[in-house]
Chains A and B, each alone.
Chain A
Amino acid sequence: MSYGRGLRVLSFVTIATITLALALVFFYAPLDVNQGFIQKIFYIHVPLAITALCGFVFGGLLAIGHLRTGDRKWDLRSYVAIHMALIFGVAGLITGSIWAKASWGHWWVWSDPTLVSFLIVMLLFATYQPLRFSIEDPERQARYASVFAIVAGAFVPLNFIAVRMAQGFVHPRVLTLTGGHLPGSMGLTFAISLIGIALLYTTLWKYEIAAKQARMQLRRLRRAALGEDALRPLGRSAAPS
Chain B
Amino acid sequence: MRPVLAVLRKDLRLELRTFETLPAMVLFSVSTFVIFHFALARSTISGQLAAGVLTVTLLFAALLGSGRLFVAEREQGGFDAFLLAPVDRTSLLLAKAAAMFLFLAVLEVVAVPAFALLLLGPSLGPRLPGLIAVLALADLALAVIGTLVSAIAIHTRARDMISPIIGLPLLLPALIATARAAAVVLAPHAAGTPPGRWLLILALYDVVFALLSYAVFDFLLED
A–B direct touch, CB within 8 Å, in complex?
yes
Tell me if A193 is interfacial: C-beta within 8 Å of chain B.
Answer: no
How far, in whole Å, are A146 and B157 apart by their CA atoms in the complex?
18
Q: Which residue of B lies closest to A117 (CB)?
A: B173
- Do A151 and B169 have beta carbons less than 8 Å apart? no
Count chain A CB atoms within 10 A of each CB in B152, B168, B180, B197 and give the residue with the most: B152
Which residue of B152, B176, B204 contacts A144 across the interface (Cβ within 8 Å)?
B152
- Do A131 and B177 have beta carbons less than 8 Å apart? no
Mark interface residues in B135-178 (1 if CB within 8 Å of A CB, else 0). Answer: 00000000000001000100111100110011011101100110
Count chain A CB atoms within 10 A of each CB in B173, B204, B223 and give the residue with the most: B173
- Do A162 and B176 have beta carbons less than 8 Å apart? yes
- Do B219 and A155 have beta carbons less than 8 Å apart? no
The smallest C-beta distance from A189 to any residue of chain B, in angstroms, reads: 33
Assuming the contacts A135-B155, A162-B177, asked whether A127 and B162 have C-beta atoms less than 8 A apart, the reply is: yes
Assuming the contacts A166-B180, A170-B180, asked whether A130 and B162 have C-beta atoms less than 8 A apart, the reply is: yes
Tell me if B118 is interfacial: C-beta within 8 Å of chain A.
Answer: no
Q: Which residues of A contact B180 (CB under 8 A)?
A: 166, 169-170
Secondary structure call for the B interface: helix
How far, in whole Å, are A159 and B172 apart by their CA atoms in the complex?
9
Q: Which residue of B lies closest to A152 (CB)?
A: B170
Q: For chain B residues 167-223, which have a beta carbon within 8 Å of chain A?
A: 168-170, 172-173, 176-177, 180, 195, 197-198, 201, 204-205, 208-209, 212-213, 215-216, 219-220, 222-223
Q: For chain A residues 107-155, which have a beta carbon within 8 Å of chain B?
A: 120-121, 123-124, 127, 130-131, 134-136, 139-140, 143-144, 146-148, 150-152, 154-155
Tell me if A163 is interfacial: C-beta within 8 Å of chain B.
Answer: yes
Q: Which residues of A contact B223 (CB under 8 A)?
A: 139-140
Q: Assign chain B's interface to a size class.
A: 20 to 34
Assuming the contacts A120-B172, A147-B219, asked whether A166 and B166 have C-beta atoms less than 8 A apart, the reply is: no
The smallest C-beta distance from B208 to any residue of chain A, in angstroms, reads: 6
Assuming the contacts A151-B216, A158-B208, A166-B201, asked whether A136 and B166 have C-beta atoms less than 8 A apart, the reply is: no
- Do A135 and B173 have beta carbons less than 8 Å apart? no
Which residue of A67, A139, A148, A158 contacts B152 across the interface (Cβ within 8 Å)?
A148
The smallest C-beta distance from B156 to any residue of chain A, in angstroms, reads: 4
How far, in whole Å, are A148 and B168 apart by their CA atoms in the complex?
14
- Do A131 and B220 have beta carbons less than 8 Å apart? no
- Do B166 and A162 have beta carbons less than 8 Å apart? no
The smallest C-beta distance from A147 to any residue of chain B, in angstroms, reads: 5
Q: Which residues of A contact B208 (CB under 8 A)?
A: 154, 158
Q: Which residues of B contact A151 (CB under 8 A)?
A: 148, 170, 209, 212-213, 216
Q: Which residues of B contact A155 (CB under 8 A)?
A: 170
How far, in whole Å, are A85 and B157 apart by their CA atoms in the complex?
26
Q: Which residues of B contact A144 (CB under 8 A)?
A: 152, 155-156, 220
Q: List 5 A-B contacts (CB under 8 A).
A: A127-B162, A127-B166, A130-B158, A134-B158, A150-B212
